[in-house]
Amino acid sequence: MRRESVTCSTENSLNLEQILDLFKKSGALLEGHFQLTSGLHSSQYFQCAKVLQYPEYATAICAEIANHFAAKPIDIVIAPAIGGIIVAQETGRLLAANNKNLRILFTERKEGTMQLRRGFSIERGAHVLVCEDVITTGGSVSEVIGIVKSFGGDIIGVASIVDRSGGKVNFDGKLFAAATMHVITYQPDSCPLCAKHVPIDKPGSRASA
């Protein structure tokens, strides 16, 4: 199946409709019954990996983030594995035009605990941008922020492709999302989809927060 092309520019801003169009073109906006990484249930799922697999789409979306933080002094871009890695990599690549020493790191879970591994380090006073693909409750990002602060790093901002919370999760006003939406989520014990016995899918990298 041939993918429909889109004209992208790092200088042109995308609106919400255009971003959602990229998700639809790449089959990244799913409908059904899903258990999110946070453990909540929803009828919609943003599979960002499917839109980010196309370099032109990844550049167009991540340019929204890079342009927003271009005037900020950023030494490190960091993300939680797995979903945020490509977002951090492409955003960091674009921001590196202003800082050739910029580094891109990621955290990962070991025995259920988010950690900075693989010899990565964060210098005290380093200016850090935290990136994620989708934010619902902000649990993974909060863990990354805790790690950065434990090293003495300074959180300059938090960025995501999609903010599903509708702006409710803003990390003390530091969050910028390319697309902000309010998508209804349910606690597992009060999910109407579960009550209707709709089969559930768990597409995330981990089942619960």
* Rounded mean pLDDT, 43-47: 85
Cα-based distances in Å from 16 to 23, 30, 51, 179, 201 = 11, 17, 15, 6, 26
- CA–CA dist 179, 17 (Å, integer): 9
Please name each of the domains of the chain with its CATH number: 58-183 (3.40.50.2020)
In terms of Cβ atoms closer than 10 Å to its own Cβ (0-12, 13-18, 19+), residue 6 is: middle
* Rounded mean pLDDT, 94-103: 93
Task: Quote the pLDDT of residue 37.
Answer: 79
pLDDT tens string 164-197: 887 889 999 999 999 988 778 899 999 999 999 9
* Rounded mean pLDDT, 70-87: 96
Residue type, 132: E
pLDDT at position 89 over 60: yes
Predicted confidence band of residue 7 (pLDDT cuts 50, 70, 90): very low
DSSP state of 182: B
